[in-house]
Amino acid sequence: MEATEQRNPWRWIPTLYFGQGIPYVVVMTLATVMYKNTGFSNTDIALYTGWLYLPWVIKPLWSPLVEMFGTRRRWVVALQFLLGTCMAMVALTTHLPLFFQASLAVLWLMAFSSATHDIAADGFYMLALRKQQQAAYVGVRSTFYRAATILGQGALVSLSGVLIERHGDAQTAWSIVFFVLGALFLTLFAWHALVLPRPAADQPPPAGKQLYREFFDTFGAFFRKDGIVVILAFLLLFRLGEAQLLKMATPFLLDPRDVGGLGLSNKDYGFAYGTVGILALTLGGLLGGVTIARFGLKKCLWPMALAVHVPDLVFVYLSTMMPSSLTTITGAIALEQFGYGFGFASYLMFMIMVSDGAHKTAHYAICTGFMALGMMAPQMASGWIQQQLGYQHFFIYACLATVPAFAVTALIKVDPAFGREG
C-alpha cells in the first residue's frame, strides 16, 4: 500500500475541495438561476430549492455509514462519478415536458450525494495528512472551495447568458452548461482515482456495533451541553433574515424592472454577484478570521453581528432607488457580501467553540446540520412572502427579521480568551 507521504498534497487537495464546492453551488445557486430563466415563480423556486438544503441538515445521521462501509477514498471517487452523472442527467431533462419535476428529482440525488461526499472528503483529509499538514492546508481548502463558487456563480452563469443570446432558448443554454459540468466532474473523478493517496488509516472499523453505540453517545453528549437551548437558538436564528434575503437576491437581480427587479442579464449577474461579490465575501472572511485571532471571539461578537446584518439595508436601497448603473449595483453587492463574510467568521468560530472537547468532529457536524436547518426553513417560505410583499417591502421585512439574531447574540456566553492567538 502506498504511503501517504509519497503523494504531494498539492496534487489532490486543491482539486478535491474545488470538487466539493461545485455541486453545492449547482444545487443552491445555479438551479435558482436556471428556474428563473425558464419562467418559474419565486414561490415555487424558493419552496422546492429550499428543500434541497435537507441533505446538509441531516447528514450527521448517516455519517457513521461512511466510516462503517468501505474506505473514505472509495466513497470520494465513487460519489464524484455519481455527481458527474447527475449533472449530465440534469442536462437531459431541460427539454422534457416535466422538466421542473425531473430536474428536481436529479438535484435531490445530487444534493444527497454532495452531502455524503462532504463527509467522505473531510474525513479523508484528516486521515491522509498529519496534524501539522492539516493546519497548513486549511487555507488551500477554503481558497479552492471559493474558486468553485466563483466558477459556478460567475463564469457558468455568464456562460449561460452568452448561450441564451446565441440560441434564444434558455433550456438549450442550461443543457449545455450542465453537460459542461458533467464533463468537468467526470474529469475530476478520473483524476482523483489516479492521484488520491491510500492512507493506511483509511479502513472501516472492525466492530460495527461499538460504532453504533458511540454514535448515540455522541449525540447525547451534544444535547447535554451547558446552555444547549441558547446554543440551538443562536444556530437557528442568527441567519433568519439573511437566509431569506439570500434566496431572493438572485431573482431580484434577474427579474425585469416592471416587476420590481433590477433586470440584470446572466452575464452581468455573473460578474456582479458571482465574481465581485464572491471575491468580497472571501476577503471579508479572511479579515474576519484575522480579527478574531487578534482580539478573540467575545470582543468581536457584537461588531461582527452588526457587520452581517446592517449591510442587508443595501437591498432596501437597491429595491427603492432601482439604479441602472452596473458599477453602482456591483459596489452595493460587494459591500453587503464583504460585511457578511467578515461577520460570518464569528458564527463559524461559535460552532468551533461549541464543538470543542470530546467528539469535536461529530459535534461540529451536528452544528452544521442546525446551521443548514436555520437556512432551509426560512428560505422555503421566502418566495411566497416576497410575492405577497413585493421586492422593496420584502427586503424591509428581511431586515426586521434580523432582530432575533441580536437577541440570541445577547444571550450567548463566550470565554474572553477563546479564539485569540497567544
Contact 72, 124 (CB under 8 A): yes
> 144-200: per-residue pLDDT in tens?
887 888 888 888 988 999 999 898 899 999 999 999 999 999 999 999 999 999 888
Give CA separation, 52 vs 121, 260, 357, in Å. 20, 27, 31
Contact 91, 71 (CB under 8 A): no
Residue 5 C-alpha from the chain's centroid: 31
Q: 213 is written with which cell numbers?
A: 453505540
Contact 414, 297 (CB under 8 A): yes
Best CA proximity match to 32, nearest among 254, 183, 185: 254
- The helix/strand/coil state of 58 is helix
For the CA atoms of 326, 329, 335, 336, the dihedral, rounded to the nearest 10 degrees, stands at: -140
Residues 20-37 have a mean pLDDT of 91
Residue 403 C-alpha from the chain's centroid: 23
In order of start, what are the domains of the chain with their CATH numbers?
Answer: 1-198 (1.20.1250.20), 207-414 (1.20.1250.20)
User: The whole model's pTM is what?
Assistant: 0.77
> 220-251: per-residue pLDDT in tens?
888 999 999 999 999 999 999 999 998 899 99
What's the confidence (pLDDT) of residue 366?
A: 83
pLDDT surpasses 80 at 140: no
**In this structure, how many other beta carbons lie within 10 angstroms of the beta carbon of residue 36?**
21
DSSP states of 10-38 as a string?
A: GGTHHHHHHHHHHHHHIIIIIHHHHHHHT
Confidence of residue 316 (pLDDT cuts 50, 70, 90): very high
Which range (9-18, 38-47, 359-368) has the least confidence? 359-368
Contact 406, 414 (CB under 8 A): no
CA angle 27, 233, 20 (to 5 degrees): 25
Best CA proximity match to 41, nearest among 52, 30, 49: 49
- Contact partners, residue 285, CB within 8 Å, separation at least 6: 142, 341, 342, 344, 345
CA angle 402, 387, 331 (to 5 degrees): 55
Q: Which helix (H) or strand (E) holds 129?
A: none
Task: Categorise residue 173: left if φ over 0, alpha if ψ from -120 to 50, beta otherwise.
Answer: alpha
Residues 110-114 have a mean pLDDT of 94
What's the confidence (pLDDT) of residue 125?
A: 78
Residue 48 C-alpha from the chain's centroid: 17
> 328-354: per-residue pLDDT in tens?
999 999 999 999 988 888 888 888 788
> 71-103: per-residue pLDDT in tens?
889 999 999 999 999 999 999 999 999 999 999
Residues 22-37 have a mean pLDDT of 91
Confidence of residue 402 (pLDDT cuts 50, 70, 90): very high
CA atoms within 13 A of residue 64's CA, in its CB half-sphere: 16
